[in-house]
Structure 1
């Protein structure tokens, strides 16, 4: 017998099915969670990873339910063989972008900034008319392309301005817009530098001071900063390149929100825990940070300007957040951010449901090959997009026995 159609019945049925689906997803996510490893098991797994990759130094932090549970450091901080410690100052690289995203959302909550207000409204004159300065980027390259007026803080934080990573990578060294702003993701440190410029030159905000007060002081990060401090030299990590040669720590004297942060694993663990809890932010602003803002459509993060994949070949549920990338996996929503240079490998991977994170700072770029296995060892299968993050890097894969040890 066919029942008569009732709009109210249909709405109730739809609601019931949504609730059922939500409950089923929660049960599945709960089943996928794994117990966290003991400190002894973590130490052993890191030792195996460092031996397999040749990495000379690595530090790791584990966060559970938004609280720091383990902070460990292994190996050496320099060629002399001084030990890497949990308060050793290390280069944060592009983890700086996650800190900047948080700082921006604090400014949004304070009413200083609107994510969707064009930056042109915040500047005293057209962007290309500002002189090129070493601290920022050569804005003069945008002369004649009025699309810069469309740019908003949201576009800059989601890497959708249309820029390459940096202007110096362009054949002629001039900054340009390669696609319609806001339409696709293409990693760009220059986009974040533009937002820094707008905040500093347009609104008169000192980003070094603003971040110090809103992040480093608030979350007990005494050995962190966006510019070099002489006291960092007391306990400082140099780095190792892929060929095993040593690279001295760069004393970065200029604030660059794309990647000038120095920090320690103890400090950054406090930030990661506060970030996953949403401390200091409104509920809305915390949600904006890790909301899928824009689909990511490329096979890998680099090179920045590459062809978009057909829909069927893209990483499912991979999107830009604000300073992080967002993904869905067997344990629900997660987000991550990496950091890299010739002698540094860093990563942060967090799972929203249990507010769990793994943060890794390595002063040896060779350690990156072990990041997927180490994160899996702590958190289980997350769905983190490692191949998108690192391309065709040959990852270290421990034996099944080692993978199962806790």
Structure 2
């Protein structure tokens, strides 16, 4: 009897893991401890002058690690938290892509039907409360009649990113809108295309974007601190954006919903959305099937700036393309689906590998953050597939010999 008790004690002692640090599994199956990842990220944040950064890692379709580093404000010195409100920038487009994919699956919108078919007036004649948002410059260019929802979501509509910015990134004070190319024939990132599709979706459904998002995304997922419009409840719980020299940027609040980039959210809640997407993908949902269907192959040297007009085969090995509001690449671990966000003082990136149940979400309130994205992706989940040069995620020490 005493021997049996002794043996049971040894067994329980050998199985005890209460003092072991949690571990994370990378894409290749290798593991690292959470404290080790903490240390690597903190070093990068400090060295590159990143004001604040949150990192969320997904293993087996769920959050396995979530930490905040740095400050919510460089002036007050308040620590950044994972429940702080962030300007979501173009992460807004990923949520919108999911919303439209739902509508398409329900037969409410046909992704390949010209948007003009859903409207009673010509697109150049549409009226907006803010006149400058209109598409009147397209009058006389009948190609606008060919634009579809799929083209808007996959950035092949031919419209510019924003009417005040040229395709090479130069400011255009006249703000004239025009088509760069025949719709559906090339890739060129376009917030204007998203805004056009938003208008049509609101016309088809008779509901505003915020109402649709609340009904179909935010409320079902318990995303109370997420919205395409600024809400009074966000006061006192948000972080400030910061310039490269740690200057604090005054908070800008959205007074109208914009599918292309007005969403406020928190790392906790956006991670909840990504968990949902991973789960749907694992279950073989036709909605994520639509979202992540690769479209036109992307062969531009850069996503933005002068390099966007140059071609390259550098990303052919990952078959870089775009789906419905999400970028798509191929890896040895299956499809990778990603979405970035970039606004003044805020830089974000997320990538999911649904077949592996692995992913990462990076949300930062610093204009220096993208300079460490490449290394964080590699260290945290073993992602060496994100096209960091195409994204212009140039490492902070890229001009120096690496010590690794």
CA pair 372-100 structure 1, distance change in 2 beyond 3 A = same
* TM-score, normalised with respect to structure 1: 0.85
Indicate the residue corresponding to 1:75 in structure 2.
70
Shifted more, 277-286 versus 228-237: the winner is: 277-286
Aligned counterparts of 1:330 and 1:31: Cα–Cα separation in 2: 13
CA pair 135-240 structure 1, distance change in 2 beyond 3 A = farther
CA pair 147-275 structure 1, distance change in 2 beyond 3 A = same
CA contact (8 A) 2:371 2:393 kept: no
Indicate the residue corresponding to 2:39 in structure 1.
44
Secondary structure of the residue aligned to 2:369 is: helix
Aligned counterparts of 1:212 and 1:280: Cα–Cα separation in 2: 24
CA pair 278-255 structure 1, distance change in 2 beyond 3 A = same
1:125 aligns with 2:118: no
CA RMSD of aligned residues (A): 2.4
CA contact (8 A) 1:186 1:304 kept: no
Indicate the residue corresponding to 1:145 in structure 2.
141
Q: 151, 157, 170: which one pairs with 2:153?
A: 157
Indicate the residue corresponding to 2:241 in structure 1.
239
Secondary structure of the residue aligned to 2:133 is: coil
CA pair 65-391 structure 1, distance change in 2 beyond 3 A = closer
Secondary structure of the residue aligned to 1:37 is: strand
The structure with the greater share of residues assigned to helix is: 1
1:307 Cα deviation from its structure 2 partner: 2.5
Indicate the residue corresponding to 1:184 in structure 2.
186
CA pair 345-306 structure 1, distance change in 2 beyond 3 A = closer
Indicate the residue corresponding to 1:175 in structure 2.
177
Aligned counterparts of 1:373 and 1:297: Cα–Cα separation in 2: 24
CA contact (8 A) 1:136 1:193 kept: no
1:64 aligns with 2:78: no
Aligned counterparts of 1:229 and 1:115: Cα–Cα separation in 2: 32
CA contact (8 A) 1:57 1:74 kept: yes
CA contact (8 A) 1:62 1:359 kept: yes
Aligned counterparts of 2:256 and 2:306: Cα–Cα separation in 1: 24
Q: 387, 390, 398: which one pairs with 2:389?
A: 387
Q: Please list the CA deviations of residues 300-358 of structure 1 after superposition, one character each: whole Å capped at 9, or x if unmatched.
A: 10028942415x45543101111111112243321211111221110001112212110
1:389 Cα deviation from its structure 2 partner: 0.7
- Structure 1: segments with no counterpart, 5+ residues: 1-29, 401-406
Q: Please list the CA deviations of residues 133-184 of structure 1 after superposition, one character each: whole Å capped at 9, or x if unmatched.
A: 4388331011001111111100000000111111122543111111110111
CA contact (8 A) 1:161 1:182 kept: yes
1:378 aligns with 2:374: no
Q: Following superposition of structure 1 onto structure 2, how do residues 6-405 of structure 1 map, counting pairs within 5 Å? A: 33-78=28-73, 79-134=75-130, 137-170=133-166, 171=172, 172-278=174-280, 283-303=285-305, 306-309=308-311, 312-316=313-317, 317-390=319-392, 394=396, 400=404
